Amino acid sequence: MPTSERFPTAHLLNANERFFLIDCGEGTQIQLRRFKIRLGKINNIFISHMHGDHIFGLFGLISSFCLLGRTSKLHIYGPVMLEELLLDHLKYFQNDLTFQIVTHTFQNRRSALIYQDKNIEVRTIPLLHRVPTCGFLFKEKKAPKNIKKEMVEKYKIPIKDIIRIKDGSDFVNADGTIIPNDELTLPAYKIRSYAFCSDTAYDEKVIEHVKSVDILYHETTFAHNDAELAAETTHSTTKQAADIARNAGVGKLLIGHFSSRYKNYDFFEQEAREVFENSVAVKDGDVFSVPKTREENK
Ligand SMILES: [Zn+2]
Ligand SMILES: [Zn+2]
């Protein structure tokens, strides 16, 4: 349930200034405005499942896009039923749409590649919930190495050799001298990744999908003591989420989606940290970054 401090689920991922909205609970557009996000920068929305706390905000957001005179396409990714729901909604409330909505639906039985561009790809993560639900794994593609400008000049490297060098080849000079690749290039950037898992019962199968991600978000609706309730309602507890994070060897665990049955939320982070030290209970508006770093030269 929304409270005055906590809105239902919505995450915004900024990947090299490309904005991806992940789930869109009630009031998401208000929060986007509060945190100074330009609505027009959002072209791709991912919906994990058809529960109100993850989708009620979508209709208001579409309406605002229209009022703002949006013309660019909006891509929405979600479970199969999403298409029918959207068509009905648009028929009653939005027959004056100023832009095209392109829906991309997916099954939740196995992981699938649902989005890719030059820099990033998005795969679904099948989850265990009362209705078909998928999380999402956002992962950068491997970028080629950067060639050092001064080396191009020093060895007079012709353009035709540059692509091969960026892919890791050495350079052979006119007199037959081999210039090793490491001398010519800066190492490639490390691939960064973010996994979003909401909502789900404890499911060890998730581990393989989120192996070594930089940041994992995993719902923790319940306290460790309420594991039975979590299982009944197909949600997770603090320690279960932390267990997934530990076994997958992730960099950082973010937890959220706390049940409104609890009076305070302080214990969530403490419980998760007992299993996985780098756990953070998120608050609305929190921002987490993964710095861009280069791999070590071998
Ligand atoms: Zn749900
Ligand atoms: Zn939920």
- Ion ligand 1 — residues with CB < 5 Å: 51, 199
pLDDT at 61: 97
Residues noted as catalytic: 53
Nearest ligand to the C-alpha atom of residue 23? 2
Please check whether residue 250 is in contact with residue 214, taking contact to mean a CB–CB distance below 8 angstroms: yes
pLDDT at 297: 65
Longest CA–CA separation in the chain, Å: 76
Is the pLDDT at 174 greater than 90? The verdict is no
pLDDT digits (tens, 9 = 90+) for 281-292: 999 999 999 999
pLDDT at 7: 95
Beta strands in the chain (DSSP E): 11-15, 18-22, 42-46, 74-79, 101-106, 113-116, 120-126, 134-140, 146-147, 171-172, 178-179, 185-186, 193-197, 215-219, 252-256, 279-281
Residue 190 CA to ligand 2 center (angstroms) comes to 32
pLDDT at 1: 86
- Band (pLDDT 50/70/90 cuts) for residue 30 is very high
pLDDT at 265: 87
Q: What's the token pair of residue 269?
A: 């982070």
Residue 42 CA to ligand 2 center (angstroms) comes to 22
- Band (pLDDT 50/70/90 cuts) for residue 296 is confident
Residue 184 CA to ligand 2 center (angstroms) comes to 50
